[in-house]
Amino acid sequence: MHSSNKRDFHATATQVGDESIFESELNILRDVFKLLPAGVTVQDEAGEFVLMNEAAADLLQTAAMAPAASQLNDRRETCLEVLRTGRPAVLEETIAGSPTKRVFLTSHRPVRIAERNFLISSSADITEQKVFEEHLFRSAYYDELTGLPTRRVIEHRVNSLLKYDNGQGRFALAFLDVDNFKHINDYYGHPVGDALLAEIARRVGLDLRESDILSRISGDEFMLLLNPIESESEVTEFIRFILQRLKSPFFIDQSEIFASTSIGVSLYPEHGCSYEELRQNADIAMYRVKNGSKGAAAFFDAGMEREALARMKVEQALRVAILEKRFCCAFQPKVDIRTQDIIGVEALVRLRDDEGVIQAPSTFINLATELGLIDELTHLVLAEIVKSIDLINENFGPDTTISMNVAAKQAGNLEFMRLFAQAIEATGFPKRFMIEVTEDAFITKTHFQDEILPIFRKLGVKISIDDFGIGYSSLSALADITADEIKIDRSFITDIHKRPRSQGILHAIESLSEALGMTVIAEGLENFEELAYLQAATRIRYAQGYYFSKPIFLEDLKLATPRASEARASFASRPAQENRPAYSRNGSYRR
């Protein structure tokens, strides 16, 4: 009996201990359930909540306070549908009741417990993840500066139109490029340039329909989809309206900026049946405008495509020529028109094509600048000068200056000009060189005069203002320029003896240049009458042009003097004209 009671006591104690452990574990589970970061709910078959943790309560309270109170009803309907079908579901839920929109990923799972059906739901806050995804999406598909769609968006939209076209649809694709944008960036600075692009995007996009798309596809290039269209005249009218709007000045950072845009347009289906074909043809039409008046628009035509193919061949040939160093130099003397001394020579680059024919720089210099090949080409010219220095000294004298042309774009590039100065110094005779730049190199905000010019002055390199009179020139601007030489553009010299207005301009430039200590050279002198006028009516001492000598190639340098002598003999045999002083050119050029 005693033994039996002892066993019962132990059994009772064990049972009580198990119940205590179970209760303790149950309390732990309740606390864990309550504090779970994810919102967990349990609903019965009627959709009523049986269990709910704190995270879920906070979520549902926020949903109840939201302006769109139907969010709770929507969730209830979803839960009942899941219970009815017995199929799990994972849904995104957006709660807009908090100061910032919150997004939850909710998993609904139907279960059967104790012969009853329940729905267990778990909601995880993915707001930060969605914000990050939105950021990635906008980075991939929207331009940060202008807020416009990127190239991918407009390409996708056009491809969609082409895919579902039933043969009746028409749309236009316009390629817009801001003219001289690099010059604007250099002059005003990149922040102003960025603000200008944003304002251009705003103006162009003002009257677009919901079905139209304006996209920024690169730095200063935009693509515009006009869809649908009825006719070409409709597009013409709208593009003309855009161009007119862009002509108004832009007021940015206390600066009044005038900017124009060149536009090329292609039409579907007339000008292509794929996005790439339409884009390329709009691009070709835009370049036709760029090479003309700029600030206008043009529709694509087949002739433009032929021009583009020809241009592509020239580009390819130019790249190969630079790679193979198929360039040479011709040298044209600068002459003292009163003593007949040669004071210097100008190195003029020429290109030998595949057949050995010499190409003038007008066929490739602008293209080399546009393609970013002009820097390498300038260094090739310098190398040609170094290679031919003995011939230069033999034929023109060891004291003559050697002039080289540098494009205004290069003159404003501090990095290039530093390297170029180092290359000139490495020749061993830097004081022989004169760099010819156009006047806009001084006028624009490239700091040529303040930062770049001192580098060359230190080496003893002289500076010449080339083509003076056709750019940004003014007498007041000339007074602020520090240069050694001014070359008056040939447009002022041609028939100078017949043009009183040009004579007045010539005298003004001559007087101011003399006061500032700059040498004046008359460019493009081609006949005796022009020479006689300069001698009789001006104090100009120096000239350059075909009258004295055409540019002479390296292999012909030894023949330069005989040719010049023949020219002088031919000229000396001419009779002196009345009413002008006779001019004798006895003797030869002094070296």
Greater pLDDT, 464 or 564: 464
pLDDT at 3: 55
Do 153 and 207 belong to one domain? yes
Closest CA to 351 of 383, 386, 325: 325
Tokens of 97: 């009741």
pLDDT at 311: 76
For residue 361, what is the domain's CATH number? 3.20.20.450
Locate the DSSP E strands across 57-170: 89-95, 102-113, 116-125
262-300 pLDDT tens trace? 999 999 999 999 999 999 999 999 988 988 778 999 999
Locate the DSSP E strands across 44-197: 49-52, 89-95, 102-113, 116-125, 171-178
pLDDT at 572: 36
Distance CA 215, CA 153 (A): 8
Do 110 and 189 belong to one domain? no
pLDDT band at 344 (very low <50, low <70, confident <90, very high): very high
Distance CA 350, CA 328 (A): 5
Q: Does some domain include residue 249?
A: yes
Distance CA 187, CA 441 (A): 11
Please name the amino acid found at residue 263: I
pLDDT at 231: 92
Q: How far is CA 356 from CA 60, 226, 350, in A?
A: 84, 49, 11
Residue 74 clears pLDDT 50, i.e. is over it: yes
Cβ–Cβ < 8 Å for 54, 33: no
Residue 565 clears pLDDT 60, i.e. is over it: no
Residue 2 clears pLDDT 80, i.e. is over it: no
Distance CA 334, CA 170 (A): 61
Cβ–Cβ < 8 Å for 350, 295: no
192 Cβ partners below 8 Å, 6+ apart? 184, 185, 252, 253, 255, 257
456 Cβ partners below 8 Å, 6+ apart? 417, 421, 424, 435, 463
118-156 pLDDT tens trace? 888 888 888 888 877 777 767 778 898 999 999 999 999
Residue that the structure tokens 């010059």 belong to: 183
DSSP letter assigned to residue 146: T
Q: Does some domain include residue 339?
A: yes
pLDDT band at 576 (very low <50, low <70, confident <90, very high): very low
Distance CA 304, CA 34 (A): 73
Least confident of 172-176, 212-216, 565-569: 565-569
Closest CA to 557 of 356, 331, 381, 351: 331
Distance from CA of residue 43 to its chain's centroid? 61
Q: How far is CA 24 from CA 4, 17, 27, in A?
A: 30, 11, 5
Greater pLDDT, 307 or 520: 520
312-340 pLDDT tens trace? 887 888 888 888 888 889 999 999 999 99
Q: Does some domain include residue 545?
A: yes
Do 525 and 398 belong to one domain? yes
Please name the amino acid found at residue 489: D
pLDDT at 590: 35
Greater pLDDT, 62 or 549: 549
The backbone torsions φ and ψ at residue 354, rounded to the nearest 5 degrees and listed phi first, read -60, -25
Do 287 and 436 belong to one domain? no
Q: State the Cα angle at 450 between 380 and 220, rounded to 5°.
A: 70
pLDDT at 176: 96
Residue 73 clears pLDDT 90, i.e. is over it: no
Highest mean predicted confidence (pLDDT) among 64-73, 511-520, 550-559: 511-520
pLDDT band at 520 (very low <50, low <70, confident <90, very high): very high
Distance CA 531, CA 507 (A): 15
Compute the mean pLDDT over every residue in the chain, rounded to the nearest whole number. 82
**Peptide linkage before 500 cis (omega within 30 of 0):** no
Q: Does some domain include residue 308?
A: no
Q: Does some domain include residue 461?
A: yes
Containing 293, the helix (H) or strand (E) segment is: none
Distance CA 458, CA 547 (A): 35
Tokens of 92: 């995104």
Please name the amino acid found at residue 266: S
Q: What mean pLDDT do residues 249-256 have?
A: 90
Cβ–Cβ < 8 Å for 259, 200: yes
Do 57 and 167 belong to one domain? no
Q: Does some domain include residue 338?
A: yes
Cβ–Cβ < 8 Å for 285, 300: yes
475-494 pLDDT tens trace? 565 666 778 999 988 888 98
Cβ–Cβ < 8 Å for 288, 297: no
Greater pLDDT, 450 or 167: 450
Q: Does some domain include residue 267?
A: yes
For residue 182, what is the domain's CATH number? 3.30.70.270
Do 252 and 369 belong to one domain? no
Distance CA 487, CA 469 (A): 9
Do 197 and 115 belong to one domain? no
Cβ–Cβ < 8 Å for 404, 373: no
Highest mean predicted confidence (pLDDT) among 148-157, 504-513, 546-555: 148-157
Do 288 and 390 belong to one domain? no
> What percentage of the chain carries pLDDT values higher than 90?
39
pLDDT at 563: 40
Closest CA to 221 of 241, 201, 244: 201
Residue 6 clears pLDDT 60, i.e. is over it: no
pLDDT at 369: 83
Greater pLDDT, 60 or 538: 538
pLDDT at 249: 93
pLDDT at 317: 81
Distance from CA of residue 516 to its chain's centroid? 39
Tally of domains in the chain: 3
Residue 571 clears pLDDT 80, i.e. is over it: no
pLDDT band at 574 (very low <50, low <70, confident <90, very high): very low
Give residue 383's domain range: 324-558
**Listed residues 70, 103, 130: the one ending a domain:** 130
Q: How far is CA 254 from CA 146, 188, 192, in A?
A: 21, 11, 10
DSSP-derived pairing of the beta strands 401-405 and 342-352: parallel
pLDDT at 569: 37
Do 146 and 59 belong to one domain? no
> What percentage of the chain carries pLDDT values higher than 70?
84
**Listed residues 63, 95, 130: the one ending a domain:** 130
pLDDT at 480: 66
Scored b (16 or more CB within 10 A) or e, 473-487 reads beeeebeebebbbbb
Q: Does some domain include residue 565?
A: no
DSSP letter assigned to residue 40: E
pLDDT at 575: 36
For residue 86, what is the domain's CATH number? 3.30.450.20
Taken as a whole, the chain contains a residue count of 591
Distance from CA of residue 586 to its chain's centroid? 56
Do 211 and 240 belong to one domain? yes
Do 356 and 214 belong to one domain? no
**Listed residues 300, 315, 343: the one ending a domain:** 300
Residue 381 clears pLDDT 80, i.e. is over it: yes
Closest CA to 298 of 267, 276, 321, 329: 267
Residue that the structure tokens 């120096």 belong to: 542
Q: What mean pLDDT do residues 353-378 have?
A: 80
Do 85 and 174 belong to one domain? no
464-480 pLDDT tens trace? 988 887 655 555 656 66
Q: Is 278 helix (H, G, I), strand (E, B) or coil?
A: helix
